[in-house]
Structure 1
Amino acid sequence: MEPMVIEVRGVLQKRKHFQLGPIDLQIPQGYVTAIVGPNGSGKSSLFRLMLDLAKPDAGEIELFGERVGSGDDTMMKQRIGYVPEQAIDVEDSLRADQKAAFISQWYPSWDLNRYQELLRRFEVDTSLKLGRMSKGMRRKFDLAIAMAHNPDLLLLDEPSSGLDPIAWKTMIDAIHRYMERGDRTVLMASHIIDEVKRLADYIVFIVHGRVLGMYEKDALLESWYSFYIDTGEGAVNWKAMPGYRSAEPNGGSMYKVITSEALEAERWCTASGVHITGKQKLELDDILTALIEQERLRIRS
């Protein structure tokens, strides 16, 4: 068993028009875990709860084995680097190095050389006030600040928002290098599929405030398939298929069937005399779409 950096147990947060949870989630040490879901699913709210910037109505969260909100958490937060989804407007009048000088006081492990190296790699103009930076440059600066004290845990909320393709590749490389030591952890929220595929070891799907599952990325992409099936003259009980997710007519006696257990489903088809005429791996966005539709059906019922 890998040690867990983050443990979320029964966390519930109720708002007037939205409910997050109850959520149970474990994030292992030494890996990149991506939270994937449509806008408004609760990804940013979950980050704020982890950092004690908001309080849950029920449940508890532990970071590094310490319960969030239980007392003085200064040392725990010194082990975390955080990039929020939105830049903090109140800082707009500060120049980059002014903010860095202030932030560095809170982190005993602040590495000035590391900070300067990240600024050079991200090509950040520190002479500008933060409010005058483009969205992309502000994002790069926030990433440099979050990584400059070599945290044990990086919480990244839509880290590539506003980045151009070159800066995006630089960010991917910086995170890969950050992970090289083997004991650091990244939890990121992202809607960029290629970003998730390049970085993530594990994927958490969250929809309408509910975690629909946590998967090892490579196993996930190997197990979700569309099967194109000719039913001939007979009826097929699709729900008996292992991993069945959905089935829709595809012309004549043909059906397109989605399964999350491709190998077992293929064996079931063979044993049931069902003829597969073609199959195709699903991409992450297709998997998310299938899960969203399944969740909508659950809510309706």
Structure 2
Amino acid sequence: MNGQGGTAVRMTGVRLRQPHFQLGPIHLEVPAGFVTAIVGPNGSGKSTTFRLMLDLTKPDEGGIEVLGRTIGNGKSIELLKRVGYLPEEPYRHDNVIRGMDKAEFYKHWYPDWDVNHYRELLRLFEVDHSIRLGKMSKGMRRKFDLALTLSHHPDLLLLDEPSSGLDPLAWRTMIELLHRYMESGDRTILIASHVVEEVKRLADFIVFMVNGKVLGMYEKDELLTGWHQFYFPGGYEKWRAVLSEMPGLAGLEDAGGVVRAVTSSAREADAWIAARELVPAGRKSMELDDILAVLVEREKRQRQYGMKGVVQ
């Protein structure tokens, strides 16, 4: 996808303290014109981050800009008309009304509401909006909320686990619609998702988030080509000192008869291995969930032992 440049969302030193959780400090820039995915375990702070961007939750520290406007200065209403937000869970207080009634309410808030696009989306998702929202199945409610979110042609989409409850056919329809949404080149999606295939199909950039902290932002293709794991025959003690200088080393462990070395810089590691005439027993590229697992483990060790820095 071709972006127009600039920054759609900027978070600078954002911190939020809650009784059992601390978010931040977060420094994050979401590029305009691209799809950025936030990936992390449950409880990482992804949904809270979205709420901060929408001025639904106030930070204790730091600044937030969305589409070039400062959030939290009391002048967010006009700005938020340019944003489409799909929360992880539907609003329960809507359960007593019909879908068509909620759509009628929505169109008064969004000057760019497109009733024809709304009806097209209902048709594509096979949603009957005359049903009360509380009577819809989880999947149908998700499809209705997606249709509602897309129907005012927002400049920025914030999607929190958008495919939750969708069957495979509806999921495929959603992916196609989001690709179509990005075709103009001047729109932006920020998505939080646990679905690896979803992230791979949609994202241009990936942000890893763990325990309220951003561990890094990566260009997707570079990430997936850069992270590999090498296997070396023999015990851990044999290889520990030898492999400690491997470029991009992000993890080293005994894997039962072999030592598993994880690197975030596969090309440089290849050259380094060849120069020392080392012979791996095998190698394998890493999926997003594998990379996340490594980063989560490193974050745990940081907190437990006070280690500094995260290998990127």
Asked whether the two chains share a fold, i.e. TM above 0.5, the reply is: yes
Instruction: Establish whether residue 243 from structure 1 lines up as the match of residue 234 from structure 2.
Output: no
Correspondence 1:56 to 2:59: yes
Count of residue correspondences: 300
Structure 2 segments unaligned to the other structure (5+ residues)? 306-312
State the match for 1:272 in structure 2. Answer: 276
Aligned pair partner of 2:137 in 134, 147, 154 = 134
Aligned-residue offset at 1:274: 2.3
Partner SS, residue 288 of structure 1: helix
Where 1:127 maps in the other structure, the secondary structure is coil
Amino acid at match of 2:18: R
Q: Deviations over 1:25-77 (max 9, x none)?
A: 00011111100000000000000000000000100100111110112222210
Whole-angstrom CA distance in 2 between matches of 1:22 and 1:119: 40
Residue 290 of structure 1 aligns to which amino acid in structure 2? V
Q: How do 1:126-165 residues align onto structure 2 when only pairs under 5 Å count?
A: 126-165=129-168
Residue 226 of structure 1 aligns to a residue in which SS? strand
Aligned pairs (5 A) from 1:209-288: 209-230=212-233, 235=239, 236-252=241-257, 254-288=258-292
Q: Is the 8 A contact 1:139 1:162 kept in 2?
A: yes
Residues 61-97 of structure 1 show CA distances to partners (whole Å, capped at 9, x for unaligned) of 0011111011222221011000001100111111011
Contact 1:11 1:24 in 2 (8 A): yes
For residues 98-134 of structure 1, the C-alpha deviation after alignment (integer angstroms, 9 at most, x for no partner) is: 0001010011110000000011001111110001111
Structure 2: distance between partners of 1:72 and 1:59 = 18
- TM-score normalised by L of structure 2: 0.93
Q: Shift of residue 238 of structure 1?
A: 2.6
Report the Cα distance in structure 1 between the residues aligned to 2:129 and 2:233, rounded to whole angstroms: 62
User: What is the alpha-carbon distance in structure 1 between the residues aligned to residue 242 and residue 208 of structure 2?
Assistant: 28
Would you say the 8 A contact 1:243–1:259 is kept in 2? yes
Percentage identity across aligned positions?
55
SS in 1 for 2:280: strand
- What CA distance in whole angstroms lies between the structure 1 residues aligned with 2:19 and 2:245? 40
Question: C-alpha separation between the residues in 2 aligned to 1:44 and 1:220?
Answer: 24
1:46 corresponds in structure 2 to 49
Q: Secondary structure at the match of 1:30?
A: coil
8 Å Cα contact 1:231/1:274 also seen in 2? no
1:203 paired residue number: 206
Cα distance in 1 for partners of 2:215, 2:186 equals: 27
Q: Tell me if structure 2 keeps the 8 A contact 1:33–1:200.
A: yes
Contact preservation (8 Å) 1:95, 1:126: yes
Residue 146 of structure 2 aligns with an amino acid whose one-letter code is: L
TM-aligned CA deviation for residue 279 of structure 1? 1.0
Q: In the aligned structure 1, how far is the partner of 2:212 from the partner of 2:206?
A: 16
The answer on 1:32 being equivalent to 2:19 is no
| 1:9-24 superposed matches below 5 A | 9-24=12-27
Name the aligned partner's letter for residue 239 of structure 1: S
1:251: how far off?
Answer: 4.3
SS at match of 2:272: helix
Q: The residue matched to 1:108 in structure 2 has which SS?
A: coil
Task: Write the letter of the residue equivalent to 2:123.
Answer: R
Give TM-score, length-normalised by structure 1: 0.96
Q: 1:229 Cα shift?
A: 2.0
Aligned to 2:309: none
Give ranges in structure 1 of 5+ residues lacking alignment.
none
Cα distance in 1 for partners of 2:13, 2:82 equals 24
